[in-house]
Chains A and B, each alone.
Chain A
Amino acid sequence: MHIVIIGSGVAGVSFAEKYRALSADDDITLVTREHDGYYSRPLLSRGFSKADIEQTIILKPFNKLRENNIKVLCDAEVTAINRADKSIVILGGQALQYDKLILAQGSSAFIPPPFRLYEKLFFCLNSLSDLKALRRFRQGFLDQNQRPDWAIVGGGLIGCEVASDLAVAGDKVTVFHAMDRLMERQLAPEDSILLLKVLQNSGVNVLLNQAVQAFSREKDKICVKTEATAGFDGLIVACGFKPRNELAELAGLETGRGIKVNQQMQTSDTSIYALGDVAELPNGKLYAFILPIRNQAIWLAEFLAGQQQGFWTPPVFTTKAKVHGFEAVHPYNV
């Protein structure tokens, strides 16, 4: 049997390693657009306060997986899934046949429609290549003994983490948040207030109830237009994530916010499964956190190896915002 996995994040890699451990004979091919290896997504939020992050973020080089008899095709963009002949098409390459296909492409940054016109004016922080681009931009300022003045649009989990890390690294940071409190989706109101104080104490300027309307470039500044207009050196949009559904949609699989799966992680095609950020369970939920994703991946590997029956059920889990000096009092809403 040939199992093909698309994506080399925690879902794809955990699945590949577990399945390899359970089945020595089947062929496993992991296809990924990444280049550097399997890296820690949570550590993206510590990308500025740590000098050696571009090396230490790599948890496993792809060769480590190859040594484990997992074939890895990196720098590979999949352009189509041909369900009729059970193959995928790789850009500039040939078709790859599969018996079972695992979709684990993760998510990209969600860009609110009004901002899409301005994509050249802002950064996102959703992948290691995003982080490297941001670090290069920032280094340009440091090389001239300057500190960039940042605007971050979005006061959710990623926005707060990045604001905190840039401030701790010594930069000037302003957060624009649309709602009346930070991380309102995950935190109790009391903890949002605590988080606000922690960020303010590290020097972050937090602006709540901000309706950001547009961006513009004025000489070497990027301007954020709300009721007033303010200029910054760099702009980061952190407004949530969007599952990478495109391939599944093109192939005619059932999709909603993510790729629809049953409780055995199977899509509307019986040979195709989905894991992680892209998988939408029958209860409408996407479990976009490391712990449940690893749990899903391991469950599916066991299931496909014939060592698991029944249905995947989410484990009890929590999360933790990686904001320097912040500990929530109440449990997170996940």
Chain B
Amino acid sequence: MSDYKKYQCGVCGHIYDEAEGDPDSGLAPGTLWKDIPDDWRCPECGVEKSEYALMA
């Protein structure tokens, strides 16, 4: 049972899953949301991290 969370981009709907990370942009699987640099951007539409919201 993992505690990994998912966050969704409010602009394009892209889902960031902490369990999977985003290897294309250098985020290894297991990278927590809080550990992602502030200049990281949505890989689909380019908006900033602040446009994401925690998924229920």
**A residues lining the B interface (CB < 8 Å):** 10, 39-43, 46, 56-57, 59, 290-291, 294, 315, 317-320, 322
* Chain B positions within 8 Å of A43 at CB level: 45-47
Decide if B13 touches A291 in the complex (CB within 8 Å): yes
Decide if B46 touches A40 in the complex (CB within 8 Å): yes
B20 CB–A CB distance under 8 Å: no
Decide if B13 touches A320 in the complex (CB within 8 Å): no
* Chain B positions within 8 Å of A56 at CB level: 41, 46
Contact of A322 among B11, B13, B41, B44 (CB under 8 A): B11
Decide if A59 touches B11 in the complex (CB within 8 Å): no
Decide if B45 touches A40 in the complex (CB within 8 Å): yes
B30 CB–A CB distance under 8 Å: no
Question: How many chain B residues touch A (Cβ–Cβ < 8 Å)?
Answer: 10
* Chain A positions within 8 Å of B10 at CB level: 318-320
Decide if B51 touches A290 in the complex (CB within 8 Å): no
Q: Is the interface of B mostly helix, strand, loop or mixed?
A: loop
Q: Which 8 A-B pairs have the closest CB atoms?
A: A40-B46, A291-B13, A290-B12, A320-B10, A42-B11, A43-B46, A42-B45, A59-B46
**B residues lining the A interface (CB < 8 Å):** 10-13, 41, 44-47, 51
* Chain B positions within 8 Å of A291 at CB level: 12-13
Q: Shortest beta-carbon distance, A10 to chain B, in Å?
A: 7
Decide if B41 touches A320 in the complex (CB within 8 Å): no
Decide if A290 touches B46 in the complex (CB within 8 Å): no
Decide if A42 touches B13 in the complex (CB within 8 Å): no
Decide if B11 touches A294 in the complex (CB within 8 Å): no
How many Å lie between the Cα of A148 and that of B26 in the bound state?
A: 40
* Chain B positions within 8 Å of A317 at CB level: 13
* Chain B positions within 8 Å of A315 at CB level: 13
Decide if A319 touches B46 in the complex (CB within 8 Å): no
Can you identify 24 A-B contacts, CB atoms within 8 angstroms? A10-B45, A39-B46, A40-B45, A40-B46, A40-B47, A42-B11, A42-B45, A43-B45, A43-B46, A43-B47, A56-B46, A59-B45, A59-B46, A290-B11, A290-B12, A291-B13, A294-B12, A315-B13, A318-B10, A319-B10, A320-B10, A320-B11, A320-B51, A322-B47
Q: Shortest beta-carbon distance, A28 to chain B, in Å?
A: 20
Decide if A290 touches B41 in the complex (CB within 8 Å): no
Decide if B41 touches A42 in the complex (CB within 8 Å): no
- Add 8 more A-B contacts to A41-B45, A57-B46, A290-B45 (CB < 8 A): A40-B45, A42-B11, A42-B12, A42-B46, A59-B45, A59-B46, A290-B11, A290-B44
How many Å lie between the Cα of A318 and that of B9 in the bound state?
A: 10
How many Å lie between the Cα of A56 and that of B41 in the bound state?
A: 9
